[in-house]
Amino acid sequence: MRRITVMGTGYVGLVTGVCLSEIGHHVICLDIDQGKIHKLQQGISPIYEPGLEEMMVKNLENNRLSFTSCQKEALSDVEVIYLAVGTPQQNDGTADLTYLFKAVQDICSYTSGEVVVVVKSTVPVGTNEKIHKYLTTHASKLSKFNVVSNPEFLREGQAIHDSFYGDRIVIGSTCEEAARLLYEINESFNMPIIHTDCKSSEMIKYASNAFLATKISFINEISSICERVGADIEAVAYGMGQDSRIGSQFLQAGIGYGGSCFPKDTKALVQIAGDVKHKFELLESVIRVNNKQQLKLIEKARSRLTCFKERKVALLGLAFKPNTDDVRESAAIVLARKLAEEGARVIAYDPVAIEKTKAELGDWICYTTDIKECLDEAEVAFIATEWDEIKQLPLEVFVKMMKTPIIFDGRNCFSLQEVKKYEVDYYAIGRPPVLNLSIQVLVH
Ligand code: UDX
């Protein structure tokens, strides 16, 4: 059991702190946001992450987990400090390390004796080294310290699962003693542990996310070709994925990737490459393809409906993917904003992401947690997030509730065989449309 402090209680920091307490460590989670800390102390999670709140409450009650906004309380008597603060993207694509080095300054102010600093935040290659240099010159109270890279590979909506059943843990450190400590801390997660140097560890994180984003943009490009040659992207992706060298995951064509990581990390890696005079052309294309893909549905719809002005439009899904309330860089938000700009009367459904969407779009659109209300009298429906509640919705509900059952499915939620049984016009990604030409579009 180790005394651990986690700095930052965002998606990564909160999940990390809760899971470390779950495997027996004594964890204090520190955040400067007193409102958030107050909620956490009451056992209320500020984020929607399946299984997180129950695990948090359990460890609060057994006193292995606590929350505070007081640096002195969190940083004075501790063996290991995880840096899990945000490293948001700046306008030029580089990572903003302001919060990270503010946290490092707090360590210099409040921590004495021996400590291992674990960099969990996603940081540009070479940042661990910079933190080590900063502590060497500023941490006068530390008698001994090490800085270890330990990037996270957590998927939102599956973060608890990935913490306990992920594919690997990466530790970047040239100090054997510090690496051994991280091995000991993480052994209960029973995952393969890869030990390398700091820079390689930092690069593994960026390269992994960039490659996953590349897979997605690749399959989205193939889907666009499929539409023109008459192939079915679902069959193509399945046939590709059976090749163990390719793998079936992250080959789901759709309206592009979003979230707080892929968009940020791909741009950051392009900058990191640029800083060392390497033009990362492939990754620049991945980003361009993704930006184009997010507008794909609206382009399809425009060729069918000519304009959206005054039309009632149902938007199904707001979160950047299912099982999360996170709407950062969500393709659904891009779609909602574009439709509203073109005068559509948008009503959006999402089981959990409405509150966070309101912070982005306000009353530009309407919101409901009732799918039928969303579809009621709608002239067209867009599916932007593949929530189970949407995938399992019988298609006759679209026929019954909508004024004109015209569906643009950005996540290929329904099989073409199923769709053909109903009086709907159905357009998907990378697959031929299913048209029931009897449906006349109301001309405004
Ligand atoms: C990602 C990485 O998966 C994770 O390892 C890293 O630590 C953080 O970033 P996350 O962003 O939470 O996790 O979600 P993920 O499940 O990877 O999906 C990212 C985006 O890609 C979503 O918008 C999703 O809709 C999209 N996606 C994913 C596709 O469009 N097609 C796919 O096949 C998979």
Q: Is the dihedral of CA 229, 231, 232, 234 positive or negative?
A: negative
Backbone angles phi, psi at 100, to 5 degrees: -65, -50
User: Is the CB of residue 308 below 6 angstroms from any atom belonging to ligand 1?
Assistant: no
On whether the CB atoms of residues 154 and 11 are closer than 8 A, the answer is yes
Q: Which CATH number fits domain 204-292: 3.40.120.10, 1.10.3720.10, 1.10.1040.10, 3.40.50.2300?
A: 1.10.1040.10
Length of the chain: 444
Kindly give the number of the ligand 1 atom that is closest to the alpha carbon of 157. 12
CA distance 86 to 12: 9
Kindly report the CATH number that applies to the domain delimited by 294-435.
3.40.50.720
Q: Which of 218, 419, 398, 232 is nearest to 314 (CA)?
A: 398
User: Is the CB of residue 265 below 6 angstroms from any atom belonging to ligand 1?
Assistant: no
User: Is the CB of residue 329 below 6 angstroms from any atom belonging to ligand 1?
Assistant: no
User: Is the CB of residue 251 below 6 angstroms from any atom belonging to ligand 1?
Assistant: yes
User: Is the CB of residue 120 below 6 angstroms from any atom belonging to ligand 1?
Assistant: no
Instruction: Say if pTM beats, i.e. exceeds, 0.85.
Output: yes
Percent of the chain at pLDDT > 70 equals: 98
Tokens (6 digits) for 435 = 């048209």
CA distance 278 to 50: 40
Kindly give the number of the ligand 1 atom that is closest to the alpha carbon of 324. 12
CA distance 330 to 318: 7
- Give the count of beta carbons closer than 10 Å to the beta carbon of residue 102: 12
The answer on pLDDT for 444 being more than 60 is no
The pLDDT score that the predictor gives to residue 93 is 83
User: Is the CB of residue 151 below 6 angstroms from any atom belonging to ligand 1?
Assistant: no
Query: Average pLDDT of 210-222?
Result: 98
Supply the residue whose CA is at minimum distance from atom 34 of ligand 1: 250
The pLDDT score that the predictor gives to residue 56 is 98
Residue 443 pLDDT grade (very low, low, confident, very high; cuts 50, 70, 90): low
User: Same topology for domains 204-292 and 294-435, yes or no?
Assistant: no
> Dmax of the chain from CA atoms?
79
Ligand 1: centre distance to CA 218 (Å): 14
On whether the CB atoms of residues 348 and 318 are closer than 8 A, the answer is yes
Percent of the chain at pLDDT > 90 equals: 94
Ligand 1: centre distance to CA 317 (Å): 16
Tokens (6 digits) for 122 = 């996603």
Q: Which of 87, 211, 216 should be mutated for ligand 1, with most atoms under 8 A from CB?
A: 216
Q: Which helix (H) or strand (E) holds 146?
A: strand 142-149
- Give the relative orientation of helices 198-229 and 281-293 as an angle to the nearest 10 degrees: 50
Residue 437 pLDDT grade (very low, low, confident, very high; cuts 50, 70, 90): low
On whether the CB atoms of residues 312 and 280 are closer than 8 A, the answer is no
Catalytic residue among 261, 307, 374, 413: 261
Q: Where are the domains of the chain?
A: 3-196, 204-292, 294-435
Tens of pLDDT, residue by residue over 321-357, are 999 999 999 999 999 999 999 999 999 999 999 999 9
The pLDDT score that the predictor gives to residue 306 is 82
User: Is the CB of residue 216 below 6 angstroms from any atom belonging to ligand 1?
Assistant: yes
Q: Which of 234, 238, 257, 412 should be mutated for ligand 1, with most atoms under 8 A from CB?
A: 257
Query: Average pLDDT of 213-233?
Result: 98
Domain spanning 3-196: which superfamily? NAD(P)-binding Rossmann-like Domain (3.40.50.720)
User: Is the CB of residue 204 below 6 angstroms from any atom belonging to ligand 1?
Assistant: no
User: Is the CB of residue 317 below 6 angstroms from any atom belonging to ligand 1?
Assistant: no
The answer on pLDDT for 318 being more than 90 is yes
Ligand 1: centre distance to CA 405 (Å): 30
CA atoms within 13 A on the CB side of 132: 17
Kindly give the number of the ligand 1 atom that is closest to the alpha carbon of 385. 25
Kindly give the number of the ligand 1 atom that is closest to the alpha carbon of 209. 2
The pLDDT score that the predictor gives to residue 288 is 98
CA distance 247 to 249: 6
Is 226 assigned a catalytic role?
no
On whether the CB atoms of residues 323 and 157 are closer than 8 A, the answer is yes
On whether the CB atoms of residues 8 and 103 are closer than 8 A, the answer is yes
Residues in a beta bridge with 67: 29
The pLDDT score that the predictor gives to residue 337 is 96
Kindly give the number of the ligand 1 atom that is closest to the alpha carbon of 11. 12
